[in-house]
Structure 1
Amino acid sequence: MASEARFEPDLYRGTAGYYDRFRLPYPDVMIADLARRAAPSGRGRLLDLACGTGQLAFPLRGWFAEVWAVDAEPDMTEVVRAKAVAADAAHIRTVTTGAEDLHAGPGSFELIVIGNALHRLRRDLVAQRAYAWLKPGGCIALCWSTGPWTGPQDWQRALDSLLRTWQDSLGASGRVPPGWDRARQQDPDHDVLSRAGFEPAGRHEFSVEHHWTIRELAGYIRSTSFLPPSVLADRAAEFDADLTAELSRHTANDRLTETVSYAYDLARKRL
């Protein structure tokens, strides 16, 4: 079995502003569906692990008396803290630490969510700790969405090729470990959760059509770990010009249309 890939801890440094502005929100229908299936009491606590800028913590906050938003990147938790103040959401607590290093008591949470991040964590350890942190009957939800370069359309294939070219040009190809997904293919997330004691509660999928501008895609790319602002550096304007030249050939009414796939895998701690 392939060993787990190891990601450097500060790959998202400097991306938080772009992450918050240009990452697409999880659709309302998915958030409502997750809340319905997890059935929180309204008096419990939510844990958003590797929270980014709160893409799950904020839309789910109304179902919980307290929310822990946990991320290893201080830039991310600082944005969450500022957003919580602006939203008068005093029950959102930020914790700047790695998921593997979080201290929480047994039965502390009714729901744990992880958005597009479990592959970057020590999966077995996090699953075992999450099982202990949950109340009996509590749930863990692994949430994800597709990136704009992963689809079948001509503009998406062109974008994927351009991103690879720029990663090579900037010496950034190694920021994402080669074969990073091999361990998950050989040992899927649902098996990791099962070993920790969780009972599967299904995968729930949603699709949303989104219309991008090239400028928005440029911002989205700066929110990634593989071409953040620190990597683009003094070649950022050159990258933007290349991106515009490549994608302008595919635009319709200055927009690029994508069907974004969202999903969450739900698992439950035994009563």
Structure 2
Amino acid sequence: MVDEMKFEPDLYRGTAGHYDRFRPPYPEAMIADLVRRAAPSGHGRLLDLACGTGQLAFPLHGRFAEVRAVDAEPDMTEVVRAKAIAMGADHVRAVTARAEDLCAEPESFELIVIGNAFHRLDRSLTARRAHTWLEPGGHLALCWSTSPWAGPRDWQRALDGLLRAWQDALGVSGRVPPGWAQARQRDPDRDVLSRAGFEPVERHEFSVEHHWTIREIAGHVRSTSFLPPPVLAGRAAEFDAELTAELGRHTVDDRLTESVSVAYELARRPRD
């Protein structure tokens, strides 16, 4: 077991609107597969930890009598609240809290989901607490998707280089703790979950093609913790111009194509 990486609070401050608009949704095939394997009763409760603007809570909400969507950022939970009201989903409740500080009833959830965020939490503490919050036989799903700058295509490599250069130029390369990925390699998520009492831990993978415009990429970058709007600040227009010039060489019909890899790791609290 290794020490958990510490991410500073408020890294996503000012990103909620961009997060909701420019983060690609989890594919329907993944959501359907998760529902099939977790087999919610339709009468239970769902907990979405570090929920963002509800990228998992809303696709799953129809399978549960109550949904609790939890995020440390007030801007995120405000968007969840507004979306729930707009769609008449009275059973979706937004809660502003750190996952590590949440007060929840023991054995009260059928399913707990964490989307693209487990590495930012105290994994050992969160896994242990999630284990107590789940009904016996309930499931925890860690959901993941790749980022547009992490792929092998020429435009993705160009985007990755541009983002690194801008982080260096703005002096914000340290917003994300260096070495966080290596820490997870030394102590994989499945081992963290196993120590907390979950069994088994199964990984299910999917791939979906996604088409971006340069404007959408610019919005997606603003949804990140490393180049959010408060960091770009007065240089946002300069960034957009450089992004357009760099990626414009790679567009086909004004689009950039990405093969998004999506996966979830499903673990179960054993029945007594």
User: Which TM-score bucket, shorter chain as reference?
Assistant: over 0.9
| SS, match of residue 107 in structure 2 | coil
Paired letter, 2:169: S
The answer to whether the 8 A contact 2:25-2:55 is kept is: yes
Cα distance in 1, alignment partners of residues 3 and 172 from structure 2? 22
Cα distance in 2, alignment partners of residues 114 and 60 from structure 1? 13
Name 2:12's counterpart in structure 1: 12
Residue 58, structure 1, aligned to residue 58, structure 2: yes
Cα distance in 2, alignment partners of residues 215 and 183 from structure 1? 34
Cα distance in 1, alignment partners of residues 2 and 60 from structure 2? 35
Cα distance in 2, alignment partners of residues 41 and 256 from structure 1? 40
With the length of structure 2 as denominator, give the TM-score of the two structures. Answer: 0.99
Name 1:138's counterpart in structure 2: 138
Structure 2: runs of 5 or more not aligned: none
Cα distance in 1, alignment partners of residues 161 and 200 from structure 2? 37
Cα distance in 2, alignment partners of residues 249 and 88 from structure 1? 44
How many Å apart are 1:215 and its aligned residue? 0.3
Structure 1: runs of 5 or more not aligned: none
Name 2:233's counterpart in structure 1: 233
Higher mean C-alpha displacement, 212-221 vs 176-185: 176-185
| SS, match of residue 199 in structure 1 | coil
| SS, match of residue 29 in structure 2 | helix
Paired letter, 1:78: E
With the length of structure 1 as denominator, give the TM-score of the two structures. Answer: 0.99
The answer to whether the 8 A contact 2:203-2:264 is kept is: yes
Name 1:21's counterpart in structure 2: 21
Paired letter, 1:226: F
Paired letter, 1:217: I
Query: Following TM superposition, where does structure 1 have runs of at least 4 consecutive aligned residues deviating by more than 2 angstroms?
Result: none
The answer to whether the 8 A contact 2:190-2:201 is kept is: no
Paired letter, 1:182: Q
How many Å apart are 1:201 and its aligned residue? 4.2
Cα distance in 2, alignment partners of residues 258 and 182 from structure 1? 25
1:188-224 per-residue CA deviation (whole Å, 9 max, x = no partner) reads 0000000000002411111110110000000000000
| SS, match of residue 137 in structure 1 | strand
Name 2:270's counterpart in structure 1: 270
Identity level (%): 77
The answer to whether the 8 A contact 1:2-1:182 is kept is: no
Paired letter, 1:236: A
Cα distance in 2, alignment partners of residues 179 and 45 from structure 1? 36
Name 1:204's counterpart in structure 2: 204
Name 1:33's counterpart in structure 2: 33
How many Å apart are 1:71 and its aligned residue? 0.2
Cα distance in 2, alignment partners of residues 28 and 153 from structure 1? 25
Once the two structures are superposed, the pairs formed by residues 1-271 of structure 1 within 5 Å of their partners are 2-271=2-271
How many Å apart are 1:3 and its aligned residue? 2.4
Cα distance in 1, alignment partners of residues 4 and 153 from structure 2? 31
1:89-147 per-residue CA deviation (whole Å, 9 max, x = no partner) reads 00001110000000011101000000000100000000000000000000000001000
1:156-195 per-residue CA deviation (whole Å, 9 max, x = no partner) reads 0000000000000011100001111121100000000000
How many Å apart are 1:2 and its aligned residue? 4.5
| SS, match of residue 181 in structure 1 | helix
Cα distance in 1, alignment partners of residues 41 and 254 from structure 2? 45
The answer to whether the 8 A contact 1:5-1:183 is kept is: yes
1:57-89 per-residue CA deviation (whole Å, 9 max, x = no partner) reads 000001100000000000000000000000100
Paired letter, 2:68: W
Q: RMSD of the TM alignment (CA)? A: 0.7
| SS, match of residue 149 in structure 1 | helix
Cα distance in 2, alignment partners of residues 108 and 182 from structure 1? 34
